[in-house]
Every structure is written in structure tokens, then in C-alpha cells.
Chain A
Amino acid sequence: MINLIYITVLLPLIGFLINGLFGRKIKNAFPGSSGEKIIGTIGSATVGISFLIVVGAFFQTISLPVEQRSNTVELFTWLSVGGLNVKFAYLVDQLSLTMALIVTGVGFLIHVYSIGYMHGDKSFWRFFAYLNLFIFAMMNLILGDNFIVLFLGWEGVGLCSYLLIGFWYDRNFEKGTTSQAAKKAFVVNRIGDFGFLLGMFLIYQTFDSLNFTEVLSKAATFPVAEATFGLIAIFLFIGAIGKSAQIPLFVWLPDAMAGPTPVSALIHAATMVTAGVYMVSRTSIIFASAPAVMMIVAVVGLLTAIMAASIGLVQNDIKKVLAYSTVSQLGYMFLAAGMGAFSASIFHVMTHAFFKALLFLAAGSVIHGMHEEQNIQKYGGLKKYMPRTYLTFFIATLAIAGVPGLSGFFSKDEILWYSYANGSFIFWLIGMLTAMMTAFYMFRLLSLTFYGKERFDHHHVHPHESPSVMTVPLIVLAFFSLVGGYVGLPKVFVGESGNLIDSWLKPIYAPAMNKLALYGSHSHFEEILLMAASVALALSAIYFALHVYTKKPEIAENLSVKFKGLYNLLLNKYFIDEAYEAAVVQPIQKGSEKLLWKVADVVLIDGAVNGLAKLIDKFSAGIRKIQTGATHAYAVMMLTGIALALLWLILSL
């Protein structure tokens, strides 16, 4: 199965080609919705089969001894330029398999869900083509055995993200259009990609290779200056910041909600945005060699987490809340990576993929049932209309809030523990505050949507449960949100080898761990104490949220009036968009208009081009007179030419 891993990449590509090239024909060839069914089946089946192959490869790998678990599947030589020799090869190891399982597994469920969600859309086939293309790019990103293939996937997912955010290109989104949101995502991502590219160049210059295995083993043994490592790590991290929406490049992710909800679930919650985390995890040894950058990673992650969570407290759009929640959770993952807990960050990627995809899909189900209404102030009491959606949403909310026993609890707790053990109490405190806020805004969302008074207009809106093609994926994801955490039980309870995911991923991070070597000795008592504290705080936040938003909404009103300044600050997302607009976008626009357009383009470039044309025109007008049309003149010219040729012959004798 390991050798067949390329099929998992190839199949979505085939699906993309079929749906992309013939989708419209398929849809038109069959009456009613059977065309949609065929398109949806092709799209889902390709990803589903990929998932099965990944599962097969996973079990084959797990049966191998630990030293042999990292395998390379070589396909062909892609580039061979001078000393640079890039093979198109896939690296199948613990890390890539974990990510591949998440991507194909969750991806498959979201594909199935999309059949129901996108039903009746005029561009149904286009949606599935893009989704399959996304899976193709994402699998390249994950499985690539060198930076070039990773970069191919990296850019590919960026493209798909752009295409899918702007999928409903004819719709409006907030103050602009979806196309503007798509462009924003693309441009902001480009800034990050630029950093990533620089990092790649520097890696090639330093290690003379772009192959993961070579670079990482050289990084572990080569005597390279810490400054070089720092520079590489910073550049790579800039790439990760762009892709994974961290401060200061997180602004695109909330706007990315302009896309259809399954896209938000798949790309902007479960998979693509975690690519940055994956990349940091993959190059862990480089980051581990630059402790200062590790600290930057952790601080950026932490600040992003608390900032996004605080914005999430007051948002009223159901998808916006989830978007900021995603940014916040991604911050957690970077906090973990920065603390040296790479396996914890990947563990959180996994659990987050389950519950956040579930949250988005359930939200999509709600939006679907509420006729595209996304404002949670106009929901309320939907519990009885959508029992299955409610139940799954509830489970996901519990998971993300960190209620003990659910998946989110284990991963989040591990991160918090490492932030205390490897960082400091301040880190833990801020992380804890973030967790509280998370619990609060998630239960605010839950209460406003499913409990309390029905605040929607009964004449126009008739809430209904979604079809089973949509709810079954929800139930499957809910199951994993419930039990997914049990692969990473806290070491304090189950001992050093009881944390399955940690011991599974450990070999990947062994070089980094050797370099870091920061396992301090902390007593188990501390861990349990911190855990208990976090659980208590989360539960109190949940109680408070439920109390405020189901029983006494006036408390929230009063608070928002009382802290009007703070409330507005949060509601307007710290005015970061406006600040960027004023500080970056406007100067560039003004500069482009005043200088580049009016001066550089119109005067210099156009002037040069038109001037040249005019010059030639004048010159031609003069030279045209030579062409008199009289045969004599031509004959004289010809003879002159002959005379000159003869002269040349004589002179060269």
C-alpha cells in the first residue's frame, strides 16, 4: 500500500479532470438531480478511495519496526538543473500519514456533505472539480518528499482557496464582493509565500539540497551558525503565518468565509490552514536549532490565540465566530510548536480538524435550514427543528470548549501543560484565558442558535433538518470528536508510552528533541492541578455563557453598554482591517496611482513607447520619399549597391 501512495494523489486529480472537463456535460446529459449525483459521487469516491489507500498504508507502516517507518516513493525526476536535482517523490512517514488520514478522511466526509449542501447550485460540477483539485494539491503538500513538491502543493492549495472563496463570484459579501475576499486571501497568502520561498533559497544555499531527508539530517549534524538557522526558520515561519492565518497576516481567514460552508470547513478550518503547522512540524529540527525563533513562534501563536478569541466573543455571524475560533485554535498549535511540543501541535491539528469541521458543517446545516441566514441574533430555539444538527453541534462545542473526556480537552490540555512546563506561568495563564474565552463564545453561539426564544420570522423562515447526506457526515465527525482524543491520553495518567500519538510521531521529532533537550522535571501533581484548574475555569465559562444567553440576555446588553469602547473594539476586530487599509493598502494604492500610474506609466513608459513610435513615423515619412515609384531611381540604387560591392571586393583583395 505504501508503494501505491501516489494513487491517493492521482485519484483526486482524475476526479478534478472528469468533473472539470465534463461536469457541465454530465449535468446536462441527465435529467433532474441525477447528474448532480453522478458528479458528487465521482468527486467523493476519488477522495474516499484515496482515504482507503492511506488507511492501508497506515496499517502497513504501523506493522513495520520503528526504524523502517519512513519510506520514500519515487515517481520521476522532475527538475535537473546544475547541482539541483529535484525528484517527484512522496515521503510516507508517521507525520505525512497522520496528515493524509485527516485530509482524505475529513475531506471525504465534506465531499459527501457537499452533495447535499450544494444541491441545486448552478455550478455544482465546478465546486466538486475545485474540491478535488484542492485535495490533489493538499496531498502533494503533505506527501512531498522535498520542499519543491511541498511548495507545489502549497501554491496549489492557495489557488484552490482563492477559487473556492470566490466560488459565488456574483454574490456580495459584507461591504464588498466575494471576489474581493478571494483576492484578499490570495494576496495576503502571497506575502507569506514570499517568505517561504526565501526560506527555501536559504535552505538550498546552506544545505545544498531541498530534499527533506537530506536537509533535516544535515541540519541535525552540520555545524551551521545559529543565525543562519534563525533566518531560515524566520522565513519559513513567515510562510506558515500567511498560510495558517497568524498575526499579522490572519486578516484573510475571516473574509474567507465568503466561500460556501463546506469550503470553510475543509480548507479554512480542517486542512489547508494547518499546512503551516505541518511545515513547522516537518522542519522541526531547523526551528529547534534556533531557540529565539521558537520563542517568536510561541509568542505569535499565543497572541493570535487570545486576540482571535476575544474578537470571537462578540461576533454575530455564525461563520465569523467559527472563523475567529479557527484563528485562535491555530494560534494554539503554533504555541505548541513554539514550545517544542510538535506532536502536541499535530495532535491538536487532528482533533481540531474533527470538531472544527463538524462545527462548520453543522453551521452550514443551520444556514441551509434557515435559508442562508447567518446572523445568530436571528436564530434561537432551533433545537427542536434540527435535532441531529443540534446534537452534533453540541458535541463539537463541548469538544472545543475543553470539557474532559472529549477530543479537544486532551489536545488543548497537552498544549497548555507544555506551555507551562517548557515556557512559563504567563504562557499558561494566557492560554488558559483563551481557553475560557473559547468556551464562552462557543456556548454563546450554541445558546443563541439552539436555545432561547425563536427570534426569526416564522412567516418567511421555516427551519428544517437537513437531508441525511448532510447529517451522516456530521454524525461520523461527532463520533471522532468524542473519541478522537483517546489516542493522546495525558502521560500523567497513562505513563510515558501510553500517549499513542506522541510515541507514533516521536521518531520524526527525535533530532529536534535531542537539540532542545528541555524536558524539565515537573511533578505530576502540578500537571493534575493545572488540568483541574483549566477544567474548572472552562466549566465556569460555559455556565456563565449559558446563564447569560439563555436566561438573562439583558446581562449581555448591559455589559456591552457598560464597556462600550471595548465592545466596539472587539466588534470591529481591533480595527485591524482598517489599520491595514490605512497603513498598507492606501499608500500602495495612492503610490500606484500618483507615481506608478501617472508618472511611471503614463509619462515614462507610454512616453517612451509612443515617442519611439512617433520617431519612427517621422523617420519613415522622410525615408518614404526614396520610394518614388520611378524605375530609374530603383535601378540607380541597385547599381550603387553593385558598385559598392565591387569596391568592397577590390579593397579586400
Chain B
Amino acid sequence: MSNVPMEYYLILSAFMFCVGVAGVLIRRNAIVVFMCIELMLNSANLTLVTFSSYLGNSIGQVFVFFVMTVAAAEAAVGLAIIIAMFRNKMTVNIDEINIFKW
């Protein structure tokens, strides 16, 4: 572990995060957008684990545990919403669902 500089992990994490962001912003399919969010969560997890490990402190990993819990809950509810949405609109393309306005 100590042979790998900490920055490497962090840069990888930042990269994955930005890829996730770009995915959220440009993809049409709501499920893929959802997966991109999971990707962003995981990049954050990577940062947490990195710091936890380099500091020799397990609090970061406890946090990762909670993030996973929330991600699981979110996936369950989010996918249920997508199913409900699909039933109403017969599509999961979010650019065809523009009711978020005035």
C-alpha cells in the first residue's frame, strides 16, 4: 500500500466521478443515468477508503458501509419510480419527460 502514492487513488476517484457526472448529464436512458449515479457514489467510496487506509482509521470505512446502505435503498426506490414512470409514459427517456416546469 505504501508503495502507491495516495494521489493516484484520488485522481482515479476524481476521474470516475467526472465520468459519472458526464454520464448523468448526457445520457437519455433513466436507468443508465441511475447507474452513473452509482458510479459517482463508488468514486466517493474510493476516496473514503483511501483516506481511511492511509490514516489507519476505520471511520472512513464505516462511512462507506452507510453509503452502501443508502445506495441500496436508493436503487430500490429509484428503480420502482422508473417502473412507475414507464407504466405511465411508456418510456424511460428522461428528455421525453419534461414536466419539471412551471
Contacts and interface: CB of A to CB of B under 8 A. Distances in A.
A632 B97 CA distance: 11
A635 interface: yes
Interface in A597-648: 624, 627-632, 634-636, 639
B68 to A, nearest CB: 24
Contacts of A630: 94-95, 98, 100
In the A-B complex, the 6 residue pairs with the smallest Cβ-Cβ separation, listed nearest first, are A629-B101, A629-B98, A629-B100, A630-B98, A627-B101, A631-B94
8 contacts: A624-B102, A627-B102, A630-B98, A632-B26, A632-B94, A635-B24, A639-B21, A639-B25
Given A639-B21, A639-B25, A632 B101 contact: no
A646 to B, nearest CB: 11
Pick from A627, A632, A634 the residue with the most CB of B within 10 Å. A632
Contacts of B94: 630-632
B98 A628 contact: yes
Contacts of A629: 98-102
Given A639-B21, A639-B25, A632 B102 contact: no
Nearest to A639: B21
B100 A631 contact: yes
A632 B21 CA distance: 11
A612 B2 CA distance: 66
B7 to A, nearest CB: 17
B25 A636 contact: yes
Size range of the interface on A? Answer: 10 to 19
Interface residues of B, number: 12
Contacts of A624: 102
A629 B100 CA distance: 4
Contacts of A635: 24-25
B76 to A, nearest CB: 20
Interface in A52-111: none
A639 B25 CA distance: 9
Contacts of A631: 94-95, 97, 100
Interface string B78-102: 0000000000000000110111111
Nearest to B101: A629
B24 A634 contact: no
A629 B94 CA distance: 10
Interface string A511-544: 0000000000000000000000000000000000
Given A624-B102, A628-B101, 16 more contacts: A627-B102, A628-B98, A629-B98, A629-B100, A629-B101, A629-B102, A630-B94, A630-B95, A631-B94, A631-B95, A631-B97, A631-B100, A632-B25, A632-B94, A632-B95, A634-B100
Nearest to A642: B21
A630 B94 CA distance: 7
Contacts of B102: 624, 627, 629
Contacts of A627: 101-102
A624 B101 CA distance: 9
Nearest to A627: B101
A10 to B, nearest CB: 60
Contacts of B97: 631
Contacts of B99: 629
Contacts of B26: 632
B96 to A, nearest CB: 9
Nearest to B97: A631
A551 to B, nearest CB: 92
Nearest to A630: B98
Contacts of B25: 632, 635-636, 639
From A628, A631, A635, name the one whose CB has the most chain B CB atoms within 10 angstroms: A631
Contacts of B24: 635
A549 B71 CA distance: 111
Contacts of B100: 629-631, 634
A292 B99 CA distance: 83
Nearest to A643: B21
Contacts of B98: 628-630
A598 B73 CA distance: 67
Interface in A353-393: none
A631 B24 CA distance: 10
Nearest to A626: B101
Nearest to B100: A629
A54 B98 CA distance: 82
A639 B40 CA distance: 13
Contacts of A636: 25
B99 to A, nearest CB: 6
B50 to A, nearest CB: 20
